[in-house]
Amino acid sequence: MSNIYSILESQGYKPQHKGEWVFINCPFHLEEKPSLGIKQDFFKCFGCGKSGSLIYLLEELGIIEKPEIDVVGNIKEKLLNSVISNLSSLVGIPKDAKIFDREYRRITPNTYRVFNVFTSKFFPDELIFPIYAEDNLRGLVRKPLQGKYKINFYGKYLPYNFANCLSTNLIVVEGVFDALSVWQAGYNNVCSVLGTGNVYNFTRFLRSIKARNVCILFDGDNAGRSAAKKLNEMYSNSYIIDMPEDTDPNSLSNLKEFLQRNIKQ
């Protein structure tokens, strides 16, 4: 919990270190000298005696939104009972979230806006892709500018952009940038498995929606091809489109034409 200090400071509080504790003025009673201490995922006020989880405190301070739906509540309950080693495992959309409004990896600012892709100081150097079911937040896909995905699901596994894939035809890609590229090429019914390691979970999703025509569009490398083959064997109503060597949907410059040639209707 080393960054709680800087987060509080950036939100206008004046935290003070005392040994393992970080102290601020208590929001639950009036005081002039800080007597509310935070240690790991826990706080205690030595003035009024109020204590509880760090998540609860951050909600009270207005730094994070209170989750409003049950599925988030369940996860929150779990978090309350566990030690949170890092603020980035918090649930919900931070209040300082800003829609990402640059062109990046061939994805336009408009596409990022449509998908509510955001940045926040809770997740330094990461782009955050929310997973929605109707208007409810079901997960956050966190893509560090360098490195692998981190995913916070609020409940069970769901592919990215699954809400647009509940019809019987869908296109499945590996990553979130691939999904946005395919969407930009005019295909809304695209979802990302969020890494080839989720292929097994993904077949359960396909069965649950009874998908009939699944186009597997994984990367043109060994990992992508072997995951595509595995998925195609596990799920019968699917076919593979083989990407050119060392390309993925996000990097292919003529993606739209490539899809028009290869997608089976």
- Sheet containing 213-216: which strands, arranged edge to edge? 190-192, 169-173, 213-216, 238-240
- Binding residue (CB under 5 A) for Zn ion from 6, 10, 14, 29: 29
Kindly state the number of chain residues that form the binding site for Zn ion, as judged by CB under 5 A: 6
Minimum distance from residue 18 beta carbon to Zn ion (Å): 16
- Binding residue (CB under 5 A) for Zn ion from 13, 21, 28, 104: 28
Do strands 238-240 and 213-216 pair parallel, antiparallel, or not at all (unpaired)? parallel
- Binding residue (CB under 5 A) for Zn ion from 1, 26, 72, 137: 26
Residue 111 near residue 129 (C-beta atoms within 8 A): no
Minimum distance from residue 143 beta carbon to Zn ion (Å): 39
- For the window 125-164, what string marks contact with Zn ion as x by the rule CB under 5 A? ----------------------------------------
C-alpha 23: how far from chain center: 31
Is 139 strand, coil or helix? strand
Task: Classify residue 18 by its DSSP letter.
Answer: E
Q: Is the dihedral of CA 166, 169, 174, 179 positive or negative?
A: negative
* Residue 48 or 234 having the CB closest to Zn ion: 48
* Residue 34 or 175 having the CB closest to Zn ion: 34
Please state, in angstroms and as integers, the Cα–Cα distance from residue 204 to each residue in 100, 125, 201, following that order: 32, 32, 5
Using CB under 5 A as the binding rule, the residues of this chain from 92 to 131 that contact Zn ion are: none
Among candidate residues 200, 227, 204, the one with its CA nearest the CA of residue 216: 227
Minimum distance from residue 13 beta carbon to Zn ion (Å): 14
- For the window 43-82, what string marks contact with Zn ion as x by the rule CB under 5 A? --x-xx----------------------------------
| Binding range to Zn ion, per CB under 5 A, among 27-35, 63-71, 183-191, 254-262 | 27-35
* Residue 47 or 109 having the CB closest to Zn ion: 47
Please state, in angstroms and as integers, the Cα–Cα distance from residue 72 to each residue in 14, 56, 154, following that order: 30, 14, 6
Minimum distance from residue 82 beta carbon to Zn ion (Å): 25
Q: Is the dihedral of CA 63, 114, 196, 153 positive or negative?
A: positive
Residues of the shown chain interacting with Zn ion in the complex, contacts defined by CB under 5 A: 26, 28-29, 45, 47-48
